[in-house]
Amino acid sequence: MKFLVVDDSVTMRKIVALVLRAEKYDVVEAENGKDALEKLKTDHFNCFIVDYNMPEMNGIAFIKALRQMPEYQKTPIIMLTTESEQDKQEEGRQAGANRWIVKPFKNEVLQATIRELIG
């Protein structure tokens, strides 16, 4: 099982990667949506954890681009962000995000969300 963690914060990417690797998942990191799209050219992922606010290409734009690709139309996407407003969460759902977790987060919440989405 391979995850792509997309966040402009190096620290946040490392924290999420530690949580995922502790569960024995493979992890690749991307610093924004544009970087993530580049990574898709050479790798395949089973789940995405995406920040909302990022330079160059934000999380919503990335998710919309991802959902245009036939192989990723049903792949689980978790938005992990500081944004908690209902309108932004609805924007995420409309774009194709499956779950929304607000930072700071508890490792157990992320782990439970992943288990719920991928079994």
Instruction: Report the DSSP beta bridge partners of residue 102.
Output: 81
Region 85-105: mean pLDDT is: 96
Mean pLDDT of the chain: 96
Which tokens sit at 42? 């050479």
- CATH no. for 2-118: 3.40.50.2300
Reported as a pLDDT band with limits 50, 70 and 90, residue 10 is very high
Residue among 67, 47, 65 at smallest CA distance from 56: 65
Angstrom distance (rounded) from CA 84 to CA 69: 28
pTM over 0.85: yes
Cβ atoms of 60 and 95 within 8 Å: the answer is yes
